[in-house]
A and B are shown apart, each in its own frame.
Chain A
């Protein structure tokens, strides 16, 4: 049986660990709320953007744009992996890294070259360790992504795709399903799926005499890159909210485990104390009996 002082020390350390994980859980809960509000406040823009895209597509049907062009062969592709800057978020980062790793393997098997763009310290650290240098690394933005960050990321891929230097762009990120759930997802960013535009066009309700300046085709030409930026921005924000969700969940189970451990340790502490008392009593009795003789 372990000695009393050791068990007591152990209980103390588990207790202070529990205090930390409980605090982190509460901090994450507050942060999820803020991140969710940010997603909400981006909704009006996204909705207006889809409406606009629909209206423009309806009047520029059959328009050609490099970002809509699907390439038959994929020689070079870009994967944007969105992780967090901090750990202790359960499988949040490793899910994305695993997904990215799978994508890399599949691409390699098909003879396709892959360039990486990493968001968050975790992805950068992982791939640098594996000897893969990303073409661009973003750090310290995953907590509070701004549209300028999304633009900057988009900037790397839009020009390259338009000039046919790359043939596909995918985003790997954690989708924020709800406060308790996030799911890792691979999203094909480029080429833009034609169904997106068709669906938007179907909902368009502007009358036929709508004016376009300079022309519907040209408006579409500048609108599509902005659409891509908005998609990346959305992914960044979802990932931020999902990160806090994952961390909250991880910290909650850590807190629960610590509580359980404290119960078990306290039990064995009491048992040890009881045993020590019993030994002492029998020693005293034994001693007294020896004196009587």
Chain B
């Protein structure tokens, strides 16, 4: 049995994933990183993107998550992903994501240009919807 990593994906609302994996591939602010067992301690910032976990030997043994940005800490074969929001790609509801993207776009168009706080909030939500759609698209 090969050495494994314990991978935890937590969001403020729940634990999304918690199991042993063989490899973690994540999008960080400096590029994509792959984490294998015995990795040096690492703390990094995740950008919105896909997080892939290798859970077995087979080519199909990959699990994929859409991450709305967050942090990752690697320490003694334990990977903790703190995500603002995370969703297993298999659970992404494309119709819903598309619908809320449209709604946010409509709201963004209505907002005055000087409402910077609201605009940045909408843009962030929109990016998350598009992120989900992209991840779902890739899988099809």
Q: What is the interface of chain A, defined by CB distance below 8 A to chain B?
A: 38, 41-42, 44-46, 48-49, 51-52, 55-56, 146-148, 150-152, 155-156, 159, 206-207, 209-214, 216, 218-219, 222-223, 226, 229-230, 233
Contact = CB atoms under 8 A, between A and B. Distances in A.
Contacts of B12: 42, 45-46, 147, 150, 229-230, 233
Interface string B3-18: 0000010111111000
B114 interface: no
A60 to B, nearest CB: 10
Contacts of B29: 213-214
A41 B13 contact: yes
Given A41-B13, A55-B75, 4 more contacts: A41-B15, A48-B80, A159-B117, A226-B84
B71 A206 contact: no
B64 interface: no
B22 interface: no
Interface in B1-55: 8, 10-15, 28-30, 33, 40-45
Interface string B70-89: 11010100001010110000
B99 interface: no
B121 interface: yes
A97 B90 CA distance: 45
Contacts of B28: 213
B41 A211 contact: yes
22 contacts: A41-B13, A42-B13, A51-B80, A52-B71, A52-B82, A55-B43, A147-B12, A147-B13, A147-B84, A155-B120, A155-B121, A159-B117, A207-B41, A209-B41, A210-B42, A212-B44, A213-B30, A213-B33, A213-B43, A214-B45, A218-B45, A226-B70
